[in-house]
Amino acid sequence: MRPRFSVTAKIAIGFGTLMLLYLINIFFIYQTLRKNQEDQRILLETQVPSLRHIEKLQNQIIQSRLLLKNWVFVEKESITPDKLKLLEIFDLEIPYLEKNIQKLYDQWPSTEQVLYQRAEELINDSLIVLGKEILNILDKPEVYNDTQQLQAVQSLMDKNGQLAWLTNKIESKLAILINMQQERLMASQNRMQTSIEKTRSFLLTLTVILVLMAIFIAVVTIRVQIIPLNYIKSVLKQLGKGVFPNEKLKERNDELGEIAAAVNSLVKGLKEISTFSIEIGKGNFNWPFQPLSEEDILGNSLIKMREELRNAAIEEEKRKKEDEQRNWATQGIAKFSEILRQNNNDLDELSSNIISNLVNYLGANQGGIFIKEEEGDEIILRLSACYAYDRKKFLEKTFKPGEGLIGRCDLERQTIFLTEIPKDYIKITSGMGEGTPTCLLIVPLMHNDIVYGVIELASFQVFEPYQIEFVERIASSIASTISIVQINIQTTRLLEQSRRQAEEMLTQEAQLKQTIEELKAAQDEAERRVNALQKEIKELKERLGRYEI
């Protein structure tokens, strides 16, 4: 079995080699920089300050010699700026410089330490002491008038005098010390420059090696990793466009092989998902499908989608069925509304149309409609019309309220739905013989809390709830129409009675008019006779009056 070198191991070997060379480079640079930093620290903290302080000390010695000459040969006043400057050099500046040099003294080579000690002894024990003696002698202006004493002091300042000898000796020692420190400073700088050059050469060589190693590793990586990875990338791009590869990827014994295996598994799963989606689109919700794993989000989502689509299909079928039932009921209501607008003056004809159409519309086998009427002092339910197998059967059949299922429905004012029919209650006759219906539906015809009749329907098929609801809905309209028809019939009867009464009244009125005319003629005749009698009476009274005279 071939050993398994993972991509991580291959990359680790290549980059590990580069990292090793890089660490070697870093270590060498670190050591060089550390040494250079140490040399630079010594240079900046010791050599340069030491050289600067010694040069300042040399300048102070030279300046003190010049100021002493000026004190002896020129300045005769007690206090002048130059005299104050000379005192400052002896009391402050030279001790300050010696103190700073002493801090750096221990880091010097022994030869420089010995040379400085001798120069310091000459400065402190001879030059400063001799200078202060001269200052003490010439501390007043009148001393310059003492020729003998002034000449003695000036002799010290001559070219061959003791002060000139001391300053020259001190200056020479300091000059030698300065040269030694300058040479040591130059040597340190040269050493640092040499170290930098060596570091530059090493870095250049190591950089070339690193570049060559990087090129080699890049070539190997491209051949072993990048090319297969680009092929896998192209396959994934095609998958991103929805295009499946024509062949499986080669599965190697490393991470790329694992990626190839995963891509092959993904392609297989996507093909199964594609087939599954097509079948789901066809409505085949029972098509087998297995997610790639428990964490397969897409697969589990498709399973969930299938269940939701199945439920949606069921809901859609249910909704469609409900819509069909609703449309069926709406059309039925419209149909029976039209029927109820006809035969408004003939209750039996209206009942026959209602029951025949209702039996056919429901797909029932038999039906009857009972109308509540008054018979003498009793209320009865009379079979107004019945329908069975497209044949009318006008049967004389009546029920009293509370009698049988019809009377009970009238009394209770509630629908009666039975799937277990009492024995010998009803038989449905057909060409095949007689049979007991499967279900029986009895609905009261009620409007404004008044029962106007009862509908009875029998069928071999059980009525659906929406059919029962439909019958109950149109029952109210039928009851309302029956009440209107009954009112119309009663109104017609009353109108006919009124018409007959009106004709009788017209006949009586004509007779009365004739009688009135006859009475009027008789009255006129009577008045005429009265008037004639009154005239005769008047004439008689006149005659009688004449007779009396």
Residue given tokens 């009921």 in the structure block: 329
Q: How far is CA 350 from the centre of its chain?
A: 65
% of the chain at pLDDT higher than 70: 83
Most confident of 26-35, 156-165, 447-456: 447-456
More confident residue, 263 or 453: 453
| Count of other CB atoms within 10 angstroms of residue 46 | 20
| Count of other CB atoms within 10 angstroms of residue 373 | 16
Phi-psi map region of 394: left, alpha, beta (phi>0 left; psi -120 to 50 alpha): beta
**What is the token pair recorded at 331?**
């059309």
Average pLDDT (231-239) is 73
pLDDT band at 429 (very low <50, low <70, confident <90, very high): low
**What is the token pair recorded at 514?**
């004739």
Whole-angstrom Cα distance, residue 123 to residue 173? Answer: 11
Helix (H, G, I), strand (E, B) or coil at 386: strand
Average pLDDT (319-324) is 85
The model's pTM:
0.45
Judged by average pLDDT, the poorest of 1-15, 167-181, 396-410, 508-522 is: 1-15
pLDDT for res 444: 92
Whole-angstrom Cα distance, residue 266 to residue 245? Answer: 11
Nearest to 463 by CA among 411, 406, 418, 528: 418
DSSP letter at 407? H
pLDDT band at 319 (very low <50, low <70, confident <90, very high): confident
Give tens-digit pLDDT for 343-381: 667 788 888 888 888 888 888 888 889 988 887 778 888
pLDDT for res 311: 81
Helix (H, G, I), strand (E, B) or coil at 431: coil
pLDDT for res 76: 63
The residue type of 304 is: K
The DSSP-derived string for 452-512 is: EEEEEEEESSPPPHHHHHHHHHHHHHHHHHHHHHHHHHHHHHHHHHHHHHHHHHHHHHHHH
Give tens-digit pLDDT for 22-73: 777 777 777 776 776 776 776 667 778 888 888 888 888 888 878 777 777 7
| pLDDT(1) > 60 | no
**What is the token pair recorded at 302?**
């498709």
Whole-angstrom Cα distance, residue 406 to residue 372? Answer: 11
Nearest to 103 by CA among 49, 152, 141: 49
Whole-angstrom Cα distance, residue 413 to residue 423? Answer: 24
| Count of other CB atoms within 10 angstroms of residue 276 | 21
**CB neighbour list of residue 434: distance below 8 Å, 6 or more residues apart:** 427, 428
Whole-angstrom Cα distance, residue 326 to residue 314? Answer: 18
pLDDT for res 59: 87
Helix (H, G, I), strand (E, B) or coil at 388: strand
442 close to 406: Cβ distance less than 8 angstroms: yes
The residue type of 75 is: E
207 close to 199: Cβ distance less than 8 angstroms: no
Average pLDDT (75-101) is 78
- From residue 365, alpha-carbon distances to 192, 340, 358, 360, 428 in Å are 122, 22, 10, 8, 7
436 close to 427: Cβ distance less than 8 angstroms: yes
User: φ, ψ for residue 370 (rounded to 5)?
Assistant: -110, 130
Give tens-digit pLDDT for 100-141: 888 887 888 888 888 888 888 888 887 788 777 777 777 676
The residue type of 352 is: S
pLDDT band at 77 (very low <50, low <70, confident <90, very high): low
Measured in Å, how far apart are the chain's first and last C-alpha atoms?
Answer: 191
Whole-angstrom Cα distance, residue 246 to residue 336? Answer: 67
Give tens-digit pLDDT for 399-420: 888 888 888 888 888 999 888 8
| pLDDT(431) > 50 | no
Whole-angstrom Cα distance, residue 220 to residue 256? Answer: 15
221 close to 65: Cβ distance less than 8 angstroms: no
The residue type of 518 is: E
pLDDT for res 430: 46
Q: Within 13 Å and on the Cβ side, how many CA atoms surround 182?
A: 9
Residue given tokens 């009586």 in the structure block: 508
| pLDDT(395) > 80 | no
Nearest to 67 by CA among 120, 153, 131, 119: 131
pLDDT band at 432 (very low <50, low <70, confident <90, very high): very low
| pLDDT(4) > 70 | no
pLDDT for res 134: 76
- From residue 62, alpha-carbon distances to 68, 161, 167 in Å are 10, 16, 7
Mean pLDDT of the chain: 78
